[in-house]
Structure 1
């Protein structure tokens, strides 16, 4: 079979990055070694011995034409500066659109607007738990104590205000929840106000900075956010699967979301399960499949690519496609802190998707023309539809006619 057309399309298609985070300057305290690993602390000493670390470091050194060592890459970065390395990485990655969750706290991170130097369209994904924590940290203007009613009133008002105004952080194209990190994905859809009030009291008693790590409160915030997302027709990204050491992965299996997905109050919500739900990729595929009634579930394979081995990346994407419709699976880099993470996410995704599509053609699942269309869908068109980034013809070449989201007025609010 001649796969030259498929390879050309995979290499040239412009990418819509549906999930990423802010880049930091060179003088940030966030260590560059973490571009290659999710580890921190003492665990970092083991990171250079992983397959993904060795492969990704070699890929970056090859891009820069420098010594293939961590020290060699760091020296290249120091000499060339953040603007130059961003230009190199994003030009090579061919990313036309980036949606940034700026709720990931990074030392000296650049604001969302800054990233428009390197991608034509940059939008914002609002991390709802972080919004809640910032509200509680700020306190009430009159200095009175929070109640659940007063908190929820401010929380809901803040989400609504941010969605109808142009903010310093950019236009909002979706919400994101990291409930998996706090208390897991088995959301109690019948959590009571009394239980949430008790949870709020416990959280506030722990002092500042506030961390909303109480299951009843997290569940209540999650459900309130779904109502607002539904009202504004915004999708909701959900962290699923693996993460850092603060995560109990047993509770991040997306099957725990069944109660939410079956609740008719949220039937209009559109969910995207992040990170290929690894190692629960087959479970995620099932939830997005035609075998279930969960038509609102979509999948994103960022972070699984490029943080797994080559075999792990390919097998994880193949598992997503075992049951999930092809128009429900989307690319993202989950790039963070360093432009190299965006480049690696793009580069390895192209390689993995080519491999998966080639095998699908050899196996007889797809014809080559069908595989070409799937590449366009996964890398751009699915995200354009899902995040409502384009209202007319979803041309694969995005740079000449980038979509703009309608703003109700031009009031600027403070950055969250």
Structure 2
């Protein structure tokens, strides 16, 4: 095959590099400066630093941070050492680091989960002022329910107030999230449970201190009522996470009954992270019109293998069903790295298909834009620029 037989791919590479991304699931960033150990702790899902045996920089995520973030954000010459990276990071104030990372990520919209360690992070209002991206909120249902439960006197009062809370969400809330995988597993009910069952479960939950909802009937109620009342997309943590996620109950297939319930209510279900169950999640996206998925967090953690994991996901998942997210939390540079890893993996995957003449460069650009921002814009009904 001669060079002339291969369709040029420069336009594709440029289009992916320059297209805006909608980060449909992320968190905010630490508002205070971190010491070196806190930075390293943020490069693993393990709560025990001994799990890494050495530095967490000795991982695919750590190596990707040194290779890509070191030069792009800190101006370091590769190869970058752990020591030089941490030294450069210490020299930059937290808010300046956030501004630098967001400025080069190329993200138009951040959909921020506000329900995890909010007191340690910059607020969504502050975040909107630190970068060019528009900021929207993803409401974590378990967190909001726990906040409400601390203000009421009885399970019956909670049941009278929870639907009103859902009905009165402001326009800044564009989606919901459940961390059922951390609390009870993903085998949620495919229908709204009986009131008597929910009251019984809530009674037991209110006896616990500290309050942390784990009852599967209660969490099924929170999610199904959220679907019934809001019809907003509901995100679910799937797979990769800290040891609180029980692997046997964190598989996406356990959500089938809930997916079918949501489908009957014309509501989207978004599967987050998905690894190592990305192929199972891809099958659900293939089978159900209301199921979407992302590889947020995953592409950062697998580092140089990002293209391989993306390709495995797209074996079955329709291209229009894959969304972009960084799942960046705490470290602002993870937001930039997530965007970079996604663009690199997508470029390598689609360039290969163009060179093998599976599709034209024009088609590849169209698919890239769907995955990068068009599907998310439509799914979350994000406001368009005037």
Q: Establish whether TM, by shorter chain, passes 0.5.
A: yes
Report which stretch shifted further, 183-192 or 9-18.
183-192
Give the alignment's Cα RMSD to 1 decimal.
Answer: 2.1
Structure 2: distance between partners of 1:94 and 1:109 = 22
> Residue 166 of structure 2 is aligned with which of 159, 167, 173?
159
The equivalent of 1:4 in structure 2 is 10
| Counterpart check, 1:320 vs 2:313 | yes
> Residue 259 of structure 2 is aligned with which of 258, 261, 264?
261
TM score, norm. by length of structure 2? 0.90
1:185-196 to 2 correspondences below 5 Å:
185-190=186-191, 191-196=193-198
The equivalent of 1:222 in structure 2 is 223
Secondary structure of 1:327 counterpart: helix
Structure 2: distance between partners of 1:116 and 1:238 = 25
Structure 1: distance between partners of 2:34 and 2:13 = 38
> Residue 146 of structure 1 is aligned with which of 154, 163, 167?
154
C-alpha contact 2:227 2:265 (8 A) present in aligned 1: no
> Residue 330 of structure 1 is aligned with which of 318, 323, 331?
323
Change (3 A) 1:264 1:105: closer
Structure 1: distance between partners of 2:9 and 2:101 = 27
Secondary structure of 1:345 counterpart: helix
Shift of 1:44: 5.1
Secondary structure of 2:93 counterpart: helix
Structure 2: distance between partners of 1:153 and 1:359 = 55
Secondary structure of 1:37 counterpart: coil
Change (3 A) 1:78 1:106: farther
Structure 2: distance between partners of 1:135 and 1:28 = 32
> Residue 352 of structure 2 is aligned with which of 349, 352, 359?
359
Shift of 1:194: 2.7
> Residue 199 of structure 2 is aligned with which of 190, 197, 200?
197
Query: Residues 331-389 of structure 1, C-alpha deviation per residue, up to 9 Å, x if partnerless?
Result: 11111112101010011111011011112223443221111111111111111111111
Secondary structure of 1:206 counterpart: coil
C-alpha contact 2:239 2:275 (8 A) present in aligned 1: yes
1:202-351 to 2 correspondences below 5 Å:
202-208=204-210, 210-230=211-231, 234-263=232-261, 266-275=264-273, 277-289=274-286, 292=287, 294-311=288-305, 313-351=306-344
Q: How many residues align?
A: 372
| Unmatched segments (≥5 aa) in structure 2 | 1-5
Structure 2: distance between partners of 1:92 and 1:348 = 13
* Stretches of 4+ aligned residues off by more than 4 angstroms: none
Structure 2: distance between partners of 1:348 and 1:264 = 31
